[in-house]
Each structure stands twice: as C-alpha cells, then as structure tokens.
Structure 1
Amino acid sequence: MSSSAGIAAQTVSGLALGTLVYRATDSPLLSAVSMFGPSLAQVLGATFFLSGADRLPPRATLTGMSLAFAAATAALALPGLPVWAMFAVVLAQGLIASLGGGVRWGLLNEILSKDGYLLGRSVFNMMNGVMQIAGYAIGGVLVTLLSPRTCLLLAAGLYVVSAGFTRLLTRRAPRTAGRPSVAATWRANALLWSSRPRRHVYLALWVPNGLVVGCESLYVSYDPRAAGTLFACAALGMLAGDVTIGRLLPARYRPRLGIPLLLLLATPYLAFFLHPPLPLAAVLVALASVGFGASLVQQERLVALTPDELSGHALGLHSAGMLTLQGVSAALAGTTAQLTSPATAMTAMSVASLATTLTLTALSRRHTPDDSLFPPRTAGAV
C-alpha cells in the first residue's frame, strides 16, 4: 500500500509538473527533463550514499523519504516559482530517491526467498501498474479540469499517505552492520561491477529501457491533450507484461524471453515517425510497454548472481542506474525533439534501444554458448 500510494503520487505529480513546465516554456526538452530530471541525481546517490541501503533501518528510512517527497512536491506548487527553482527541487528529490530502491527491494529480498523474489516483485509491479494507470488517467483529467498546481498538492497528500502506511511495517534491523559511508559504497560498487555476467545484466537493465523511457518523456510535447491517455496505455502494457512474466509463464521459459521482450519494448515506437492517429498510437504504446517485463527476467538473474549481504546494494544500484539512464534519455530525447520534432525523436530513441539490445546480445554470446542473454547460473556467484 505504501508503494502504491507513492507511485500514484509520482505519476500525478510528474504529469502535472511536465504540463506546468511545457505551458510556461513551450519546450519539449524542459518538459521532458522536468518529468524525469530527478532520475539524473540518482548517479550521485549511487556513487556516494548507496551503502545506506543495507546499513539503515528500512521503516524509518522509507517513512522519512516519503515525508521529504511530500514537502518537495508541495513546494513545487508554490505560485510564481521559477522554472530553475523547480528543477532544483526535482533534482533534490532524485538525490533522496537514490537510496529508496535499495532499501525497498533489499527489504523485499530479505522477506522472501531468492526463488520467491521474482513473484514478489511481479506483485509489486502489478500493483504499481494499476496505480500508474489510475494515476495517469485521473491525473490527466484533473490537470485539464483543475490546474497543475492543484494536482501537485494532491500528490503531496498521497506521499503523506504513503508515509503513514510505511509506519505500519515491522521494525527491522539493518541487514549489514556498520555506518553508511562513501568508501563502503565504492567498495560494494566495485565488487558488483567486477563480474562480467553482472555487468551484462546491469547494462541490459539500464540502457534499452532507459532509451524507451526517453520516448515516453515526449508524450506531453507529442500530444499535450492526450498525454495522460498515452501514459495510462503504457502503464496498462507494463502491467500485462508483468502479469505474463511473473504469474502466467512457467519458470523454465523465462530466461529465453529477455531478448525478445527488449526488442518488443522498442520496435513499436518506430511507427511514430509516421505520426499515427491517437487510437493507433495508444495501441503501439501499450504493446511496446509489454516489453518492460524483461526487467523481471533480468532482476531474477541479478539476484541469483549476488551475495545475500549485498542484495540491497545490488538492487539499489540497479534502481539508481536505471533511473539515471532514464533521466539522461529524457534529456537526450528532449534535445532531439527540440531540434527536429517529438515524433522523430521518439523514432531515433527506439532505434538506439534496438541497437543496444543487439549489441549486448552479441557481447553476451562471446562468453556463453547459450543463446539467451541470461542463462541460469549458480546463485551467489561473485
């Protein structure tokens, strides 16, 4: 419930802020960066603060983060706040959020067995998908009927609700002894990055879907009135992919679907070069987002390759890297759209995603005879 309320707040606030900035600047670049700019700060968190994912008490950390997000989102609703100040606030949000993925998913991995992690994560993803659909659909209506600033205040209230649910968690001690430090963060990052199989998994988790999120960051500038519809369809497709991979598909088939799902993720966006009408665009967006189910396959592989005492850090590094690439991709997509058009930029980002997937596949096959990017391996490998 805490995660769902947070996702609802994130979707409503992101759509409201993107609309607010686009109305003020008429810039696809600034609109895209305002929605996904917090992700750019994730790289700083992953570099300096990520050791706290396993060294801080989960309940207190997640509660404090939700309250900080509530305050920051309320600040974004202040009348007359200049655009540069909005960007300062969203970057601060991203810096705070850089710790959240490691704490949350490390806690989930602690509660569940490694064999049960994918199922548990898929349940989270399904709940989050439902909240994204509702958040973007309702948020799109509210932004039109009310105002972006009013929607930001509603989102701040949802973050407070998220904090309240987090306080209901059972108190747990940190998974690893010691104080968080920059040195500990660097040591763990170096250890995780030292394994070639883990490097391939991390790159596959970060780059292809980050580039496709660059496509999504242009929905507002592509069609300002239909952006909420496109975001909701994307969330619906993501939900369908998570249900299929996490609940319906037998485990023996999952490893070989990593590459096809990544290809599916990018291919439908090639058609946006032709400016499809809204109904077709919505179908293409939903179909593409089914490909986000690849992340479940990759996360299962990452958990199997990671020592238990580094699970929170490893999953936090995944989350921080993924969000960082999403922010970079949003900036790149916005810049391309500024120079060409949103439709052209979406097509270019999809081509880059496809090229990345094919390159990673070729590199992986040099080191393993299996034709899957993520063949089964022994758990806990270093």
Structure 2
Amino acid sequence: MSTTTLVTGLGVVAPTGLGIEEYWSATLAGRSAIRRVTHFDPSPYPARLAGEISGFTAADHLPGRLLPQTDRMTRLALVAADWAFADAGAVPSELPAYDVGVITASHSGGFEFGQNELRALWSKGGQYVSAYQSFAWFYAVNSGQISIRSGLRGPSSVVVSDQAGGLDAIAQARRQIRKGTGMVISGAVDASICPWGWVAQLTSGRLSTSETPEQAYLPFDDRAAGHVPGEGGALLVLEEAAYARRRGAPRVYGEIAGHASTLDPGPDSDRAPTLQNAVELALEDAGMTADEIGVVFADAAAVPALDQAEAEAIIKVFGPRGVPVTAPKTMTGRLYSGAAPLDLAAAFLSLRDQVIPPTTGSIPSGKYEIDLVTGAPRPAALRSALVLARGHGGFNSAMVVRAAGARTRS
C-alpha cells in the first residue's frame, strides 16, 4: 500500500510539562517530575512515588458542563486533543465530520471517577451515585468524549493492550487512513493515581518501592527494582499525505513508517520472547534495514529480567552497542497506554531538532551491551527512530517513524 501516513500535530500532557515545548525543554534538560504522591496519602502503601501532572486546572481549558461527567484522564485527553488539532492547524468544525476519526488506547479507564462514585455508594447510598458513572470509567470514554466535543464522525475505537496500547492505537489509525479516512487523532492519555488505581497497579509486583526519586526508576541499571507509575500521554494528528497537502497543513513532523505487534508465550512456555520479531516485522513494514534507524526509544521496564529481554532483542537486531538507546520516561514514570505516544512525540521532536534526549538516573550495567544515552542530550544526524512498548501479559509493539521525505531502500 502506497498511502503515506503523516503526523501533523502533537498534543502533550506530561508530568514534565504541559504542551510540546514545555515538555521538550524539560526532557532535554533532564528535569524529572518523579515525586512523592500528592493526589492521595500514599503512606499505607509500599510504593509512594509517581510522576504527577502539576499546574493543570481543567476549568481553565474546558467548559463547566464537562467537568461533572469526566474523569481526570478524560479531561487531560480532551485538552491534549485540542492542542493537537491546534498544532496541526486543523479546526474540526471546519472539516467534513466523516473525514476525521478518533482512536485511543486505555490501560485502566477512569479509575478515579469510579472510585469516587463507589465511595458515594458505600457511604451514602445508590441515589448519590452519578449517572455519568455509566460511562466515565469506561476504557472507550476518551475516544467518545473527543469525538463528541469535536463533532467527529469518522472511525472511532479504543485499544486495550496495557503499555503497548498507545502504539497499537496509532497503528489502527494508520490502517484506517489506508482505508480512506483523511485524518485520525490517535494516541493515549492515562491517569489512575488514586487509591483504587494504585492497588491495581501494585498487583503487578513491578512498582518500585524506593523512597528516593532519583533512584526509584533505573532501567538497564544493576540497581533496577521496578518502575514508577505516572499520568499523562500524548495525542497525535495523523493524516493521509494528500489530505494534509489539500488542507494546507502548516507542518509535518514525519511519517508513521512501519509497525508490528506480537504476543509473548506464556510463562511456562519454553519459547523465546517475541519482541525481536516485532522489531524485525516493523522494519520490514517500513521497508527499512536496521542500519537506517538512528535511535531506539526503549520500553525500559526496570525489571532485570525484562530489561535483559529487551536488551537482547535490541542487540540481536542492531548488534552490540549498534544504535543509541534512550528512555526519557525515567523523568515522567511509566504512563501506561500514554507512555509510547509520548515517546513518539519525543521521537518526532528528536528528528526535528537532531538530538537524542537522555535517560536520567540510570548507570548502564555492563551486562547490557546497549548504547544507553545518559547524562545529557546527544546531538545526532537523525532520519528515523524506533519506539518500543511492552504491556503486562506479553504484549509487544514496535513502531518505526521517519522524517518526512526520508529515503528508504528500494
């Protein structure tokens, strides 16, 4: 299929910054937003650190009628969507409604809204439960609310594959564009830093219990002992190339060049993990070879066995220290479905500015033969990037992006 899917707008809501440039300047400066949880008292829990978004007041950005019916996750997503459309120079009300779709991912839905309504049920009775509980908690609510607010009637759906979901949603958006949809806003925003969401995350056994923010989330480090959760993510405006030209898109960040997803075998299987397969299939989909990739944005689980598996997959495809690897999510925490779309945004900004952002905190272990970018941003001549994401339960997703007009092998 010759259809080219371009990224023409970015909407970023991250612990390290609201909006593209605030997030990017903090990322290049290595400023971490990992702190002790403030959304609730974390004292009774073994994990007490998170990447929280500060300085966000929904009423400053959204009409009052939306506030009683939306979870924090959805409020952040609605604002990210507004910013992404504005960045793309697109006014949804001025576009044919069936030309534009919405495809998002979700890890947990509106946990905080659901928790508050359950509290009302238990403490006051069913008559005090909001009617909006029927949808505000739901995984698909961000897609629904964005489409309603913007008047969009194109293909709309939600993808649920944990941390891999954000890439899988964008891949689904790309498929819809190849089928004839002109524009899709896609990506993910997650936010479940509340007691109910916290308990659910603790069940994974992968949360860091460190009390020291600078040492809590250390992928590819001998001290790695789990990740720090976070909230936020990114939404991207994707367009078919001719559609973007016709409407006069003011900028093009680059192209979604290739994607693949795989599923690891069960824990009792003697078969190998399949992340390497996902990378190779994504490169094949992009029509590219490994030596054309300028940087890898790692999933960076910070669990030794998972870090080892990811490092091995990278080495098998690119060779020992064969490509720069980075994990700027060490500054935000893992944002679940929102993490990989935020990495995609960072990848496109890296292509724009010809620089690789650093992985903060980690001291690369000698047992991982990868070229981990640490300490400071690294200038680089970049034409393409690979973004990796893995979800709990064995989901793997790999996406290749490249600068607009970047040449591929024939």
Please give the TM-score of this superposition, normalised by the length of structure 2. 0.30
Please give the TM-score of this superposition, normalised by the length of structure 1. 0.32
Higher relative contact order (CA 8 A, sep 6+): 1
Bigger helix share:
1
Bigger strand share:
2
